[in-house]
Amino acid sequence: MKIRGICYRCGAEDELIDGLCPVCYAQEHPLIEVPDRVEVEVCHMCGSYKRKIWQTPKSEEAFEILNEIAYYATKDAIKKKSVMVDVEIYPKITQLPGGKRSKLIIPVHIIAKGRLPGEKEDRVYEKDIEVHLKMVQCPRCSRFMSNYYEATLQVRAMNRYLTEEEREEIDNFVREELAKRLKKDRMAFVSKFIPQKEGLDYQLGSVGAARNVAQKIKERYGGKITETATLVGVDRDSGKELYRVTVSVRIPEYKVGDVVEYKDKYYLVTAITENKVYMKSIDHNREKIGLPWHVAEKETRMEKKKDELDTATVIATTPNIMVMDDKSYEVYEFDNVGDVEVKEGDKVKIFKKEGVSYLVNKVEEDK
């Protein structure tokens, strides 16, 4: 409450705030409280810094990282005395840390503007402090260096081994997805990469990362995910049981354009999605079906890859389709197939099994 009177601190007559004139009140009540020295832990390996939790810097440039660290260390240390106070923070970076045991002190200039309850006008309060960087090893890097892992991600193919092409492509894909995941999950690192005869194994620092990347693989290639857990011990502090999780993703045995067998009939694979494989029969009926992966893995079988199918040239279309095999020059006749529109001279793919030939589809012209 303001009343006019004599300031008990300086003796001036003025409007008083809690017995003080405006000048003395400002001297006794700064707009903010902040220590002269602020200390922040910084990982000498990855550059992360500790606030309430460990943070990954937004930039990869050294001076910008230090600026970010000093800014947030200062911001966290400041206590504003009123919601009507705004604060500006200006780190002054002049050097870089030299290594694991190096020390770095960053001067920071703080400008606070505003007023406290009871004051008529805004004022400015400035202060210089030092931010001391304490170089340590963060928990993530400590675990990484000790080959710590929480989960194993296994990548396999259904009923076959991964091809060399698939190994290279999927490995690049896994590492790209983990790099994206690291922005949200600091434990999404590869502790160990173990190529296997049948596929790829990754020991990862985070169960969430293993599940996330497995789902990304499934979304891209289709297939099936299974998960198992193994008890490895008990946490000393909480008494909770500790488990290591194995997340296995199995990509399809076949691709679009391949021919497969299902319930004694032959089908052309027409589409592959995250949850299903879509096919149509290559007999006269051209039946279309969609199978969930848990069914497809058990009840379908690869018959012929797209690139291994025989090719033939259409030599007649009425009354039936007649084609000549491009290698053997044998002639085959098929009932007109409604969803395969061809004209004389077109190339088609044919599938032969136990003396029976099937018209699969038309060979699309190169674009």
For the chain, what percent of residues have pLDDT higher than 90? 50
Supply the pLDDT for residue 16. Answer: 80
Pick the CATH number of 309-366 from 3.30.930, 3.90.1200, 2.40.50, 1.10.1330: 2.40.50
Average pLDDT, the chain: 88
Statement: residue 18 has pLDDT above 80: no
What value does the mean pLDDT take over residues 309-327? 90
Statement: residue 331 has pLDDT above 80: yes
What value does the mean pLDDT take over residues 206-233? 91
Sequence-separated (6 or more) residues with CB below 8 Å from residue 212: 177, 181, 185, 188
Lowest-confidence region among 17-21, 64-68, 236-240, 276-280: 236-240
Supply the pLDDT for residue 100. Answer: 54
pLDDT class of 143 with cuts at 50, 70, 90: confident
pLDDT class of 194 with cuts at 50, 70, 90: very high
What value does the mean pLDDT take over residues 189-197? 93
Please list, residue by residue across 334-350, b when 16 or more beta carbons sit within 10 angstroms of its beta carbon and e when fewer do: beebeebebeeebebbb
More confident residue, 232 or 58: 58
User: Cα–Cα distance between 265 and 18 in angstroms, integer?
Assistant: 93
SS3 139: helix
Sequence ranges of the domains in the chain: 1-30, 36-139, 147-221, 309-366
Statement: residue 367 has pLDDT above 50: no
Statement: residue 337 has pLDDT above 80: no
- Answer whether 309's CB lies under 8 Å from 350's CB: yes
Statement: residue 187 has pLDDT above 60: yes
Supply the pLDDT for residue 98. Answer: 58
Statement: residue 336 has pLDDT above 70: no
pLDDT class of 237 with cuts at 50, 70, 90: low
| First-to-final CA distance of the chain | 84
